[in-house]
Structure 1
Amino acid sequence: MSTDELPRSGRPRVIVVGAGFAGLAAVRELRDADVDVLLLDRDPFNTFQPLLYQVATGGLNPGDITYSLRAFAARFPHARFRRATVTGVDTAQRRVRLDSGVEVGYDYLILCCGVVANYFGIPGAEENAWTIYSRRSAIAVRDRVLSNLESVAQGREGAVEPVVVVVGGGATGVEMAGALAELRNSGLPLAYPELDPRRARVVLVEMADTLLAPFHPTLRSYAARALRERGVDLRLGTAVRQVRPDSVVLSDGECLPSAVTVWATGVRACDQVAMWGLRQGPGGRIQVEADMRVVGQPDVFAVGDVAARGDDPLPQLAQPAIQGGRHAARQVRRLARGEPTEPFSYRDKGIMATIGRSDAVVQLPGRVRMRGFVAWVAWLGLHVLALMSNRNRLATMANLAVRYLTWKRTANVIVGDPP
């Protein structure tokens, strides 16, 4: 196997590590630049993470929100994709080492490799809790939830009561809890008539006193009220002390039975990043200068969730990642032309979270706040349009239409091969 994955064309060579929002934005921005681009990711597909909770609750197929990275790279004449995990970065020699042992040289490196779940050292959390930050983990949660319902409905020995505990009151936790509550309210009476719906509980545990901390207080209160109306058991101002295979121990001493514990509390840089010799800050985030270049590394950029600027880190959301990826690519173009870089300026376009069918909260710049049906339509339209292809958009619209329009009559969910 060659030790060089980019053609020797004489053009500057740019390696983009990570095919999330930031990585794809960077590749798009370099589409007509006089450079060769190599996109690296451990998966052969891009995953639209904001809709993974729908996969985890049987509303969408995994293929609805994934897109082939080889097909993506094929759109651009000077871009290539390789499935690989970066195991080392040699900034002195300008080389990236891959899990296959191959080393690839670069002139410019853009790191947007994403993050992993942060368990904050809570005993048993990493071993016994489940995340929904990747396609495979969302599928695992879906299959575990549905398998548990089958076991309880059939009275199998050793079946844990159908209780799902969601830890974390951010957007991911709220959306997951809301979707599970609707599954319980609309689907269970039809699909499992032998099971008392009151036995199936959804508990959301949040250490802070409110949900959705970045939102305005009125929207936080609205979200909490909407979840309670759907039957979600909110435990605000409560921390998790321990996670066991079949239960969660809370800070007040209560031991909650839990068939599935979904962990949605926060993220951090993966341990591998610490071995790359780059300066890191809280949460392991790579420290960058105003232009998004890594501190002390003039040819290396870091953007998205894995990066932070000093004491003013950007939120770990899609828009900062997209804008950061575009900015890093523009600076590569400037450096390739011998021009100085420019500082990055983030433009806040707002935040949103869905609570369930016909219900969401939206906060836009200029004190614009929406909730309820109008906010839900805005949330739905934006997320469908943000998908990678028309096939993804059509499939997502079709499956969501089935979920939101026919569930009370059909109770149909998407299933795989449950364990």
Structure 2
Amino acid sequence: MQEHHVVVVGGGFGGLQTVHGLKGVPTRITLIDRRNHHLFQPLLYQVATTALSTSEIAWPIRHLFRDRPEVSTLLAEVSGIDRTNRTVHLTHGETVSFDTLVLATGARHAYFGNDAWEKHAPGLKTLEDATTIRRRLLLAFERAELEKTEEVKQAYLTFVVIGAGPTGVEMAGMIADLAKKVLPPEFRNIDTRKTRIILVEAGKRVLPAFTEELSEYSKRALEKLGVEVMLGTPVSDCTEEGVKVGDHFIPARTIIWGAGVQASPAAQWLGVKADRAGRTEVGPHLHIPEDPNIFVIGDTASVQQADGKAVPGIAPAAKQQGDHVAKVIKARLTGKAEPAPFKYVHKGNLATIGKRAAVIDFGKIKLKGVIAWWIWGLAHIYFLIGTRSRLAVAWSWLWIYLSGQHSARLITQRDTLKDEAQPVGKTL
């Protein structure tokens, strides 16, 4: 009898947890991802804001499964799925057959029908996004140093972050710390402390997933760092010259998008129903209603809880879903009873504001300030992969905390989206 073949598409939290959960199960596993690394997305903003380097939050997928001979890894991108013939189609023309398929293909940022904004306002989902944003941040200060016109100089020193969820809040706080505490001694023609950091949110408060008390504390903490918080008015346009918030135009040469996400095209590949964000609708065991051997998890899936609320698109949820799918597959292959339907257990919400404050909501336990920041840091270090990464990140944070210096501030590549259109004007 041919060995059962499980194909997992996506090497994020959900996909990796599925593969980990299938250890010891009599099956052959193929893991497909269009990048060769697993990324710890919750710390991606710290790469974008020069606090951490890329190697501290990402690991080669092949290395992670080097001791699992039943696991094969393919560096490839999926272009479609043939449910009838049980094959996954790759962009280079190859196909991979499957008995069980797990789609954990994540999500990208969504611009609510204004895709042209992406050129001017990159989002933050990949290492490439993070290094692009980091490059633009640093180049903005360099160009301001060269600029003679005061109006243009101020536009370079204005940074707009769109969306006040955890990513937007954390990004705005770190940019403020960089501009107002790290960089001032290093420039001669500009005072980086005069940098404007503007956080724009269409809703009524920052961090809407937190309690109103913690949300209000976060707003005050941001304002204490020098961040201008604009609430209640959506962005109506993004250009290379700046951002239009309602009817008000803000000249700004660096814009960062954190206002929405769009699921991968998994539902289109499968020809099944999806919600407004493109997430595939799945049943109690996280497989599509049309096929019990095709599972969809993580940001790609629309999973409803018993109370009717959707399971949030966060790392702990994806890991729990991956673990559940692995248990279902294991039960089927070993002839045991399937587990109870998936039930999401919310562990809490965490967000950091700058380098000395955070908010934590564990339900009955709610914390804010420095103590919350230390707990936030310890929690993130715990979930990193490998002793080396934990030590590296812990050391980087300790160095920043004690010295106030960010070490990952190299500009290593031209930004073709802006550099060619807006040349510096002279050669150094």
Tell me the alpha carbon deviations over residues 254-308 of structure 1, each in whole angstroms, 9 at most, x when there is no partner: 1111121100012111346423312212211001001111121111011111101
Paired letter, 1:295: P
Question: 100, 104, 129: which is aligned to 2:121?
Answer: 129
2:312 corresponding residue in structure 1 = 315
1:139 to 1:208, Cα distance in 2 relative to 1, 3 A: same
1:105 to 1:63, Cα distance in 2 relative to 1, 3 A: same
SS in 1 for 2:288: coil
1:302 corresponding residue in structure 2 = 296
Which stretch shows the higher mean deviation, 68-77 or 214-223?
68-77
Question: 38, 45, 49: which is aligned to 1:46?
Answer: 38
Question: 198, 201, 208: which is aligned to 2:203?
Answer: 208
Question: 350, 358, 362: which is aligned to 2:356?
Answer: 358
2:283 corresponding residue in structure 1 = 289
Asked whether 1:234 is paired with 2:226, we answer no
Question: 365, 382, 387: which is aligned to 1:385?
Answer: 382
SS in 2 for 1:141: helix
Contact between 2:14 and 2:320, CA under 8 Å: does it hold in 1?
A: yes
2:61 corresponding residue in structure 1 = 69
Question: 391, 402, 408: which is aligned to 1:405?
Answer: 402
Contact between 1:74 and 1:80, CA under 8 Å: does it hold in 2?
A: no
Tell me the alpha carbon deviations over residues 179-214 of structure 1, each in whole angstroms, 9 at most, x when there is no partner: 000011111221224312354111000001101111
Paired letter, 1:282: R
Cα separation, 2, equivalents of 1:338 and 1:91 = 24
Paired letter, 1:210: R
Contact between 1:164 and 1:258, CA under 8 Å: does it hold in 2?
A: yes
2:146 corresponding residue in structure 1 = 154
Paired letter, 1:255: F
Paired letter, 1:222: Y
SS in 1 for 2:59: strand
Q: How many Å apart are 1:155 and its aligned residue?
A: 2.2
Tell me the alpha carbon deviations over residues 128-174 of structure 1, each in whole angstroms, 9 at most, x when there is no partner: 21112110110011011101101111226766421110000000000
Paired letter, 1:249: K
Contact between 1:162 and 1:201, CA under 8 Å: does it hold in 2?
A: yes
2:250 corresponding residue in structure 1 = 256
1:413 to 1:29, Cα distance in 2 relative to 1, 3 A: closer
Identity of aligned residues (%): 32
Tell me the alpha carbon deviations over residues 85-132 of structure 1, each in whole angstroms, 9 at most, x when there is no partner: 111111111111111211111111111100111101237422321112
Counterparts of 1:107-126 in structure 2, within 5 Å, are 107-122=99-114, 124-126=116-118
Cα separation, 2, equivalents of 1:202 and 1:72 = 39
2:79 corresponding residue in structure 1 = 87
Contact between 1:358 and 1:372, CA under 8 Å: does it hold in 2?
A: yes
2:393 corresponding residue in structure 1 = 396
Cα separation, 2, equivalents of 1:22 and 1:69 = 13
SS in 1 for 2:292: coil
Which stretch shows the higher mean deviation, 354-363 or 267-276?
267-276
Which ranges in structure 1 are unaligned for 5 or more consecutive residues? 1-8
1:86 to 1:334, Cα distance in 2 relative to 1, 3 A: same
Contact between 2:179 and 2:193, CA under 8 Å: does it hold in 1?
A: no
1:351 to 1:141, Cα distance in 2 relative to 1, 3 A: same
SS in 2 for 1:284: coil
SS in 2 for 1:378: helix
Paired letter, 2:259: T
Q: TM-score, normalised on structure 2?
A: 0.91
2:328 corresponding residue in structure 1 = 331
Which stretch shows the higher mean deviation, 190-199 or 83-92?
190-199
Counterparts of 1:218-233 in structure 2, within 5 Å, are 218-233=213-228
Which stretch shows the higher mean deviation, 220-229 or 30-39?
30-39
Contact between 1:145 and 1:259, CA under 8 Å: does it hold in 2?
A: no
1:37 corresponding residue in structure 2 = 29
Paired letter, 1:258: A
Cα separation, 2, equivalents of 1:411 and 1:132 = 20
Tell me the alpha carbon deviations over residues 8-36 of structure 1, each in whole angstroms, 9 at most, x when there is no partner: x8321101110111011101000111111
Asked whether 1:28 is paired with 2:20, we answer yes
Paired letter, 1:329: A
Question: 68, 92, 104: which is aligned to 1:100?
Answer: 92
2:418 corresponding residue in structure 1 = none
Asked whether 1:415 is paired with 2:410, we answer yes
Asked whether 1:56 is paired with 2:48, we answer yes
SS in 2 for 1:299: strand
Cα separation, 1, equivalents of 2:26 and 2:400 = 46
1:412 to 1:88, Cα distance in 2 relative to 1, 3 A: closer
- How many residues matched? 407
Q: TM-score, normalised on structure 1?
A: 0.93
Cα separation, 2, equivalents of 1:380 and 1:309 = 29
Asked whether 1:269 is paired with 2:263, we answer yes
Cα separation, 2, equivalents of 1:237 and 1:297 = 43
Contact between 1:148 and 1:259, CA under 8 Å: does it hold in 2?
A: yes
Cα separation, 1, equivalents of 2:372 and 2:293 = 42
Contact between 2:50 and 2:406, CA under 8 Å: does it hold in 1?
A: no
Cα separation, 2, equivalents of 1:195 and 1:417 = 23
Cα separation, 1, equivalents of 2:292 and 2:376 = 39
Asked whether 1:168 is paired with 2:163, we answer yes
Q: How many Å apart are 1:395 and its aligned residue?
A: 1.6
Tell me the alpha carbon deviations over residues 347-394 of structure 1, each in whole angstroms, 9 at most, x when there is no partner: 1111100011121000113x1101111111111011111111112112
Which stretch shows the higher mean deviation, 301-310 or 322-331?
301-310
